[in-house]
Amino acid sequence: MRNLQLSFNQTQKVRLEKALERLESLSSKSNPNSCVTVGDTIPVYEDGILKGHGTSDQKGELAATVCGVVERINKLIYVRALRARYKPETGDIVIGRVIEVVPKRWKLEINFTQDAILMLSSMNLPDGIQRRRTAVDELNMRSIFTENDLVCAEVRSSQGDGSLQLQARNQKYGKLERGQLLTVDPYLVKRRKQHFHHLEEYGIDLIIGCNGYIWIGEHVEARDKMVVDQGSNSEQLIAKCDKNSMDLDEQDGTCTPREARQNICRIANAIRVLSRLGFNITVEVILETVNLSNSLNLDIHDMLGSEFYVLVAESEAERRSLSKRKR
C-alpha cells in the first residue's frame, strides 16, 4: 500500500489498520510463502530446482534478494518484484501513447524500458481490407495516428535487442478517444482472459492494460472508417467543408454527454482509491467500489476523501472473507 497522504482522524486510523490487518491475515492464510522481503528464505519442496531472478543461494538455502511475490514455473523459482516497470509477454493487451511517426511505423511509450514499435503492416487499415501497404498508405500514416494519440494494441513479439513489436489487427484495437487515461503500478493488473469490458449500466468502455495504463471512455461501437487515398481527395475536401458548416446543435451532439463524463470520473476515482490502497485492479472490484459510492450517495470528489478509503478497505476485507468461506 502506498503512503496515503490523507488526514485521518483517530477513529478512521484504527478502522483502516484493522481492515488492512484482516486483509493481510487472509492473504497469508491462503498462501503463506507468496510474499517475501530481502533475505527471507524461500521453501523448496523438490530437488533440482532452478534459481531465477530475485533469488540467491545462501548457505545451502534459497533466499530472496528483492521484495516481491514468489512465482513457480515447473522447477523454476523466481521473485516477481513489486512496483517494477512493466515486463511484457506475448499476447498482452497494452495502451500506449504515440511519441513519433517514422517511415512505416509508429513509436509508442508503453511504460516499458524501451519504446514499442507498431508497424504499418501490423495493423488494420481504415477500410478494413487486407492488402499490401503502398506508398500512399505510408504518406497517410498521420491520418491514422499522430503524436500524442492514445492507442490500444497487443504485444506481438520481443526482439533480441529488447525492442517490442505491437500489432493491431482487430477492430477492438486502435485509437482511443473521448475518455480518460489512468496510470497504476503494473503489478496491480493481473493477466486475465478478458481485458476489454463494456459496462452497459454506465455506457462506458473499460480497457485494463497489462502495462498499468487503464482507459475509461464513452462506449463506441466498432465500425470501419473510409480509407483516405489520393482518389478521395475531393470527397475529403467536401466532407471537411460540410463539417465546418455544421450548426451548433449538431456540434453539441458530437460531445460526450454529461452523464457519461460523470460516470467516467466516478469509475476513475474508484480506480485511484484501489490503486493507492494497493488492491488488485479487476473489473469486479472496480464495480463494487463504484456501487459502494452510489449506495452512499457520495459526490464524485468525495470519493477521494479519507472516509471512503476506510470504507473501501473494510468492504474489500469483507468480500475476501466471504469468498474464502464459500471455498
The pLDDT tens digits of the residues spanning 10-41 come to: 998 999 999 988 887 876 555 555 778 888 88
The average pLDDT across 79-102 equals 88
CATH number at 70 reads 2.40.50.100
- Position 205 in a domain: yes
Give the rounded percent of residues in the chain with a pLDDT score beyond 70. Answer: 84
- Give the pLDDT of residue 126: 72
Are 273 and 197 in a shared domain?
no
Kind of pairing between the strands at 196-199 and 116-123: unpaired
Is residue 240 over pLDDT 50? no
Residues 221 and 272 in one domain: no
Whether residues 215 and 143 share a domain: the answer is yes
The pLDDT score that the predictor gives to residue 234 is 36
> Is residue 288 included in any domain, yes or no?
yes
Look at the chain and report how many structural domains it folds into: 3
pLDDT for residue 119: 93
CATH number of the domain residue 102 falls in:
2.40.50.140
Q: Are 156 and 219 contained in the same domain? A: yes
Regarding whether 273 and 215 lie in a shared domain, the answer is no
C-alpha cell at 209: 492494460
Is the domain of 197 the same as that of 276?
no
Q: What is the pLDDT of residue 319?
A: 86
Name the residue with higher pLDDT: 28 or 122: 122
Model confidence over 47-59: pLDDT tens digits? 788 888 889 888 8
| Structural domain includes residue 11 | no
Average pLDDT of span 292-298:
94
pLDDT tens-digit profile of 128-181? 677 788 899 899 899 999 999 999 999 998 876 678 999 998 888 999 999 999
Whole-number average pLDDT of the chain:
83
Question: Is 109:86 a contact under the CB 8 Å cutoff?
Answer: no
Kindly compute the dihedral angle of the four CA atoms of residues 130, 134, 140, 143, in this order, to the nearest 10 degrees. 10
- Alpha-carbon gap, residue 192 to 208, rounded angstroms: 10
Domain extent at residue 268: 258-326
6 domain residue, yes or no: no
243 pLDDT above the threshold of 70: no
Asked if residue 192 and residue 138 are part of one domain, the reply reads yes
> Where is the domain boundary, 15, 48, 82?
82
* 183 and 104 within one domain: yes
Determine how many CB atoms are found less than 10 A away from the CB of residue 130.
Answer: 8
**More confidently predicted of 59 and 317:** 317
Residue 251: what pLDDT? 43
User: Among 304, 218, 295, 208, which Cα is nearest to 262's?
Assistant: 218
User: Which of 181, 212, 231 represents a domain boundary (last residue)?
Assistant: 231
- Residue 1's pLDDT is 52
CB 80 within 8 A of CB 34: no
Residue 223 and residue 105 share a domain: yes
Q: What is the pLDDT of residue 312?
A: 94
Q: Is residue 7 part of a domain?
A: no
Higher-pLDDT residue of 183, 123: 183
- Considering the domain architecture, whether residues 76 and 103 belong to the same structural domain is answered as no
Top pLDDT among 128 and 80 is at 80
292 in the same domain as 220:
no
Arithmetic mean of pLDDT, 252-265: 84
Residues 146 and 43 in one domain: no
pTM here? 0.80
Question: Which DSSP string do the residues of 241-303 spell out, in sequence order?
Answer: HHHHT--HHHHHHTSPPHHHHHHHHHHHHHHHHHHHHT----HHHHHHHHHHHHHTT--TGGG
In-domain check, residue 202: yes
Task: Give the Cα separation of 53 and 306 in Å (integer).
Answer: 38
Of 33-42, 172-181, 194-203, 299-308, least confident by mean pLDDT is 33-42
Q: Which of 246, 303, 295, 247 is nearest to 270 (CA)?
A: 303
Q: Domain for residue 251, yes or no?
A: no
Q: Domain for residue 278, yes or no?
A: yes
pLDDT the model gives residue 49: 85
